[in-house]
Amino acid sequence: MLGIDTNVLVRFLVQDDAAQFEKARKLIKREVTAGRSVFVNQLVIMETEWVLRSRYVVPKNQIIEAISGLLDSNDVKFEDEPVIEEALFTWKDSTADFADCLIGAKNRRIGCRATAIFDSKAAKLACFMAA
């Protein structure tokens, strides 16, 4: 298994730099062809969402589709995939940031009854409480 960084994942998804896209595509193809998975940790997913939203102005629904597509792939493995799925599900119908949804899902998964937060948008979610 080979871990990939945010820049590799973003180039693969956005394809805005032909040379870097091709390097990312070949790297992923080489791993998959060899029977190995590509690994994406939660920090990379969180940073990827931020880059897609802030740098590339990708709409929320397209970011959800892109991450969901990766989650559906058998060749890409994720750190604690159920947490990412829960965060996407929560974020889809929320005004909270994806990062907050991911933090709340992760904390709930490890046994926290809630996560204290100052953000009023996130505080409306069941996994948070206003600090």
Q: What is the pLDDT of residues 26-46, one digit of tens each?
A: 999 999 999 999 999 999 999
**Residues near 61 by beta carbon (within 8 Å), at least 6 away in sequence:** none
How far is residue 3 CA from its own chain's centroid? 14
Indicate the average pLDDT of the chain.
95
Question: Residue 126 pLDDT > 90, yes or no?
Answer: no
Q: In the chain, what percentage of residues exceed pLDDT 90?
A: 94
Residue 32, number of CB atoms within 10 A of its CB: 15
Give strand ranges (E) for the chain. 2-3, 38-40, 76-78, 115-117, 128-130
